[in-house]
Amino acid sequence: MDKSLVVFKKYCKTPSTKKMYEYHFGRFLKYCKKDEPLITADGLLSLKEKILQTYVEDYVYGLRNKISPNSYNGVVSSLMIYFSMNDKVLNWDKD
């Protein structure tokens, strides 16, 4: 298992939160693999911030019309926790 995922799971407080965050992060990773098939969770962290920011923005914006507004925060929160726990700084204030 990638080290970044171990760190990510360590900071999930409850089993239900851990399960939900793993699910949402897994879907994001699958989304990234459509462009870069060999990318891993640790590999995401080695991408330049600008490229990673684009991946996150495109993914999140693409979900806005596909998922319930109640689910949207879970998706964004899972990505925020993953990247912040692995010391990757992204801009989350964009609309």
Spatial distance between the Cα atoms of 60 and 95, rounded to a whole number of angstroms: 10
Convert the pLDDT of each residue in 70-91 to its tens digit: 888 999 999 999 999 999 999 9
pTM of the full structure? 0.88
In the three-class reduction of DSSP (H, G, I as helix; E, B as strand; rest coil), residue 48 is classed as coil
What's the pLDDT score for residue 79?
Answer: 95
Convert the pLDDT of each residue in 12-67 to its tens digit: 888 998 999 999 999 999 999 998 888 899 999 999 999 999 999 999 999 988 88
